Amino acid sequence: LDSNSCDQIDVMQITVNALPEPDAGVDTTICDQLIAVSYSATPVGGYWSGTGIDSTGLFMPFGVDTFDVYYHYTDGNGCYNEDTLSITVDSTVYADAKLDKQVCIDSGLIQLEGLPATGTWSGLGISSTGLFTTSVVDTLDFVFTYGEGNCLTRDTMELIVNPLPIVDAGLDFAVCVDDTIQTVVGSPLNGQWSGVGVIDPIGKFNPDLAGVGVHTLTYYYLDSNSCDQIDVMQITVNALPEPDAG
């Protein structure tokens, strides 16, 4: 209405826009290793804030706790909203492959056991569950892995496959039944003898005790790697002749 009492109208429209609905993702659990974890949200174009996270969504776990971080987003209409992501940081469970180990080449199928038991093994010739068959003399490194993502940890153990000792019981020989006690010597030294007529495992054989016949003696040797081997020898105990003077 103007000063002449003349009036008129006009109209305007105001658009009330909905707020955007940013999605920071599903709450998550990670481990307290100093390995950064990258988070993404929708729609793209927003920024992050909160303890331990940078504006691009890179979070560094620096302690065991639960952390709330925030994704901020402003849409093309200038409307703003945010969403919260809860990150739980747990203590890391570390893979343990246990101590290095030595076995003998004749050990056959062996089972390696790491902790936690649900971890997995990898390496030349080993199954994921830790089964390995000894076939050649070698030194092998096996990796035991547990967890995933930033909770992934690894540990390595060394397996040495040792050869068997070379054992020699010596040459076969013959004695008379009335001969004195015989000393038998195997190689390497410090093994043990067994068999009929052996009266001392260090290598003493009594022909009279064994009696007439062919006797197999076994020489057993255990080396410094706890690998063992045997060899055998035969001792023929001959009967005395029976001369007849008439």
Q: What is the secondary structure of 116-150 as a DSSP string?
A: STT-EEESTT--TTSEEE--S-EEEEEEEEE--GG
pLDDT at 97: 98
pLDDT over threshold 90, residue 87: yes
pLDDT over threshold 90, residue 168: yes
pLDDT over threshold 90, residue 1: no
Mean pLDDT of all residues in the chain? 96
- As a whole number of angstroms, the distance between CA 202 and CA 192 comes to 6
pLDDT at 244: 87
Which residue is associated with the tokens 């504006």? Answer: 55
Longest dimension (CA), the chain: 179
β-pair type (80-90, 65-74): antiparallel
Residues 6+ apart with CB under 8 A from 221: 165, 167, 186, 188, 190, 191, 192, 228, 229, 230
pLDDT at 62: 86
* For residues 140-144, average pLDDT: 98
pLDDT, tens only, 90-131: 999 999 999 999 999 999 999 999 999 999 999 999 999 999
**What confidence tier does 59 reach under pLDDT thresholds 50, 70, 90?**
very high
* For residues 226-237, average pLDDT: 98
* For residues 28-54, average pLDDT: 96
- As a whole number of angstroms, the distance between CA 92 and CA 30 comes to 9
Phi, psi of 76 (to 5 degrees): -65, -15
